[in-house]
Every structure is written in C-alpha cells, then in structure tokens.
C-alpha cells in the first residue's frame, strides 16, 4: 500500500479514537442538550423531590409527554423548583393540573405524573403548576407508621 | 531431592534471565528515544495492529453491548428498575469489558501476528543481516511495534465501549422499550469521566503495553525454526491473555477504592 493512503487510513483511525473519546466524555459521562424547539416548559414547586433528577420523565396517565429539564432550590420558600419540558403537541393541560412525584416500581427512578384538572384554561410556556404533591419518602412513611402504632 | 532443588534453581535463573532480556528489549526500544525517522514505520504498524483490528473490535463490541442489554434488562425488569440499564451497561463496558475484551482480542488478532512476523524474520536471519549492515533491529523492528501497540490499544478499547453502548441502546431503548431519557440520564448521572472513564483508559494503555511487549519479546526470543515460531505464537496468546486478566485484577484493586 502506498504511504499516502496508509497515512490517510491511520489518520482516520486516530480521528475515530478521538471521536470515541469525545462520545464517551460527552454522551456517556457528561450531558447533552436536547432541542427545545417543539417543547414548552412548565414549572412546579415541590416540598421534597426525593430522587428526581434532570431528564426524569414526565407522564400523563402513564404516557410519557416530556422530561425534567432543570431542578433548582427556590431560596425564598426553600422548596425545589422543577422545570419540565412538555411536548408541544400536548397543549391542552388545564391550569389546575396536579403534579406528583411518583416512583417507577419499587426500586425504579422517580418521575413526575400529571393529573389533569377541570379548568378550561390551558398551561402556556413558563406557567407554574400550583397544586403539587411531594415524593413519598419511605423513611418518613415508616416513621409515621411507627409513631401511630406505639 | 538435590536434583529437584537444582531444577528449581535452574527454573529461577532462567526466569530471571528471560525477564532481564525482555526488560532490555523494552528499555532499548522505548526508553532510549526512538528516532524521528522511524515515524513512518510506526504509522505502518498502527495500520497493521490498529486499523486492521477495527472490524473485529466493532463486531465484538456491538455483540457484547447487545447481550449485556438483553441479559441486564431481563434481570432489572423484575425489580422495575430497567431504567438503570444504561448505567449498568456503560459502567461495565467503560471500566472492565471494554479494556479487557479488546485487550484479549488485540492479543489474538495483533499480538500473534507480531510474534510470527518477528519470529520468521529471525528464522530467515533478516534480523542478523540487519545488524550486519549496521541497522539496529530493536529500533527498526521492535520499537515501532511497541509504540504502535501503546497508541492503538486505548483507541480500540474506547471504540469497543462506544459501539457496545450504542448496541445496548439499540437493544434496550429501541427494541425492549426502556425509556430513552432515563437510559441516558441514569448513565450520565452515574458515569464520571475522571473516576470511571479515565481509569478504563489507563487500563487499556497498560494492556496495550503488556500485550505488545510479550508479543515482540516472544518473536524476538523464538527458536528460529517453524516449530519454534509456532510455539512462540501460542505462548504470546496464552501469556498475554493471562496477563491481561491478572493485570486487570490488580489495576482494579489499585485504582478503585475498596
């Protein structure tokens, strides 16, 4: 094989190595930014989010309609301010919808379940859900159970 | 009794001698600075050892990733925690299976070829004629192969991991229906670059070093007959596979806190 072709092939090989490193660094161990074009964001405050993480799913009736895009601490109320991106085609969520943090199975990850309300006004981009329900913390439940019993 | 003791002593002396010769080769080839004029030779060896191994690495990486996804899903779904599939597969691939399996494949695919090539060069007296005309075979033959192995292995291991993770996402997300966001978010939350990825890369560099070192030394040290070359090639594959696995244990023990 000619030296020129050889060098090109080896160059491609080394480039593939660098790309692999970049993929492992960004896609596997870092984070990616999804396109926010066909989504709108809604906020909600929770007393306790349990194990909710960024990119956890948001579902209505068990169907996935979006994901959590940011989690911050609201410094005034000391509640967790969760921002979620909801698919733009799900645009008829009434403003008195309840957001609850649920658990996927016994050991699964946390996700947000939306229970649709009765109002005829719909959530717009940037709106906040008022009615929220915190994550169920197993330890708290056990504590309550013990206190009631004894 | 005495003769047994003598045999043990003989064995010990031979072992030390072999290690000494192997160490000398390594020292002469790597540490005594390689010449700039040898770079084309290194490129050619990267092609031989690396580029030609890509296909086997990609195929095995994909299969192993897919199998990990299938088996992992089967177990995790019982506890409703199939969203942890991405995390499990990525950690296992990046830290262990990527470096180790690509090291084993590298030993079989590239190490054996290196040993056979150098062994044949020795058998046909190419090495001694090189010395005769004043070319150091350690610089011309051995050093480029060692460098190429050193450069190639981490790239192959990374490719293996990437293809494996892609294969597992193909099976897990697109076929078995694990939610895509959870698959990637659990992975990104759990895998850290410096404490997982980097340690995998260090492992693969060590494996590349050891495998090519064994391959080069076995070729250089082979008995210059066809049988000798056959035995040396076998030894290369056996020794390098075993040392990859043993070294992996010790590197894991050293680098990760237990």
pLDDT (tens digit per residue) in A24-73: 888 777 644 445 557 888 888 888 888 888 878 888 888 888 888 889 99
In order of B35, B41, B54, B64, B230, the CA distances from B50 in angstroms are 21, 14, 6, 20, 23
Lowest-confidence pick of B47-56, B57-66, B79-88, B202-211? B79-88
In angstroms, the CA B96 to CA A92 distance is 48
pLDDT above 70: percentage of residues in chain A: 90
User: Residue B168, Cβ neighbours under 10 Å: how many?
Assistant: 30
**Between A and B, how many CB-CB pairs are < 8 A?**
105
Which residues in chain B are contacts of A27 at CB distance < 8 A? 184, 188
Contact list in A for residue B80 (CB cut-off 8 A) is: 104-108
* ipTM (interface predicted TM): 0.73
Q: Which of B165, B179, B188 sits opposite A31 (nearest CB)?
A: B188
Q: Are residues A16 and B83, on separate chains, in Cβ contact within 8 Å?
A: no
Return the residue in A28, A33, A87 with the most chain B beta carbons within 10 A, the one to mutate for interface testing.
A28
Q: Residues of A9-31 as b/e, b for ≥16 C-beta within 10 angstroms?
A: bbeebbebbeebbebbeebbbee
Q: How far is CA B48 from the centre of its chain?
A: 15
Domain ranges across chain B? 45-255
**B chain contacts of residue A20, beta-carbon cutoff 8 Å:** 155, 158-159, 161-162
B35 or A111: which carries more pLDDT confidence? A111
Domain extent listing, chain A: 1-32, 39-141
Residue B34 above 70 pLDDT?
no
Contact B98, B200 (CB under 8 A): yes
CB contact under 8 A, B46 and A10: yes
- In angstroms, the CA B60 to CA A84 distance is 39
pLDDT > 90 in chain B, percent? 47
Which pLDDT score is estimated for A143? 84
**Angle at Cα B15 formed by Cα B246 and Cα B130, nearest 5°?**
100
- Tokens 């299938």, residue? B70
Whether B31 shows a pLDDT value over 80: the answer reads no
Test B193 with A17 for CB contact under 8 angstroms.
no
Assess contact for A42 and A129: CB atoms under 8 A. yes
Q: What is the DSSP track for B57-83? A: HHHHHHHHHHHHHHHHHHHHGGGT-GG
At B57 the pLDDT is: 94
All residues of chain A having their beta carbon less than 8 Å from the beta carbon of residue B193 are 25, 29-30
Higher pLDDT, A136 or B90: B90
H or E element: which one contains A40?
A: strand A39-46
Which of A13, A14, A67, A104 to mutate against chain B (most B CBs within 10 Å)?
Answer: A13
pLDDT digits (tens, 9 = 90+) for B96-111: 999 999 999 999 999 9
**pTM for this model (two decimals):** 0.72
Look at residue A120 in the predicted model and tell me its pLDDT: 83
Give Cβ neighbours of residue B76 (< 8 Å, ≥ 6 apart): B82, B84, B85, B88
B189–chain A Cβ distance below 8 A for any pair: yes
Interface check A33 vs B, CB under 8 A: no
């Amino acid at each position: 094989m000619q030296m020129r072709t050889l060098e090109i092939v080896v160059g491609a090989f080394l480039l593939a190595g660098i790309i692999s490193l970049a993929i492992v660094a960004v896609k596997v161990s870092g984070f990616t930014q999804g396109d926010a074009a066909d989504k709108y964001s809604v906020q909600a405050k929770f007393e306790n989010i349990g194990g909710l993480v960024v990119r956890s799913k948001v579902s209505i009736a068990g169907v996935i309609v979006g994901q959590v895009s940011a989690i911050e601490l609201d410094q005034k109320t000391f509640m967790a301010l969760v921002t979620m991106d909801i698919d733009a085609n799900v645009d008829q969520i009434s403003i008195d919808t309840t957001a609850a943090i649920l658990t996927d199975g016994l050991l699964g990850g946390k996700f947000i379940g939306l229970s649709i309300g009765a109002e005829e006004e719909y959530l717009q981009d940037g709106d906040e859900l008022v009615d929220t329900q915190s994550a169920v913390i197993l330890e708290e439940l056990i504590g309550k159970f013990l206190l009631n019993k004894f | 009794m005495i003769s047994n003791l003598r045999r043990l002593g003989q064995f010990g002396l031979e072992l030390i001698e072999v290690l000494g010769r192997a160490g000398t080769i390594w020292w002469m080839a790597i540490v005594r600075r390689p010449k700039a004029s040898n770079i084309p030779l290194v490129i050619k060896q990267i092609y031989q050892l690396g580029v030609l191994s890509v296909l086997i690495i990609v195929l095995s990486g994909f299969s192993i990733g897919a199998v990990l996804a299938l088996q992992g899903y089967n177990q995790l779904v019982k506890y409703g925690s199939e969203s942890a599939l991405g995390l499990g597969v990525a950690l296992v691939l990046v830290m262990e299976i990527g470096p180790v399996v690509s090291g084993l494949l590298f030993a079989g695919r590239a190490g054996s070829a290196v040993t056979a090539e150098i062994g044949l060069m020795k058998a046909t007296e190419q090495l001694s004629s090189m010395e005769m005309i004043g070319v150091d075979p350690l610089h011309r033959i051995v050093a480029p192969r060692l460098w190429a192995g050193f450069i190639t292995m981490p790239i192959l291991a990374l490719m293996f991991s990437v293809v494996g993770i892609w294969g597992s996402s193909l099976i897990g997300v697109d076929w078995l229906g694990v939610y895509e966001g959870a698959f990637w978010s659990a992975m990104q939350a759990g895998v850290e670059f410096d404490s997982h990825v980097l340690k995998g890369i260090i492992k693969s560099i060590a494996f590349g070093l050891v495998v090519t070192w064994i391959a080069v030394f076995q070729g250089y040290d082979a008995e210059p007959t066809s049988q000798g070359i056959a035995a040396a090639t076998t030894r290369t594959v056996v020794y390098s596979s075993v040392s990859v696995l043993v070294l992996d244990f010790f590197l894991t023990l050293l680098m990760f806190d237990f």
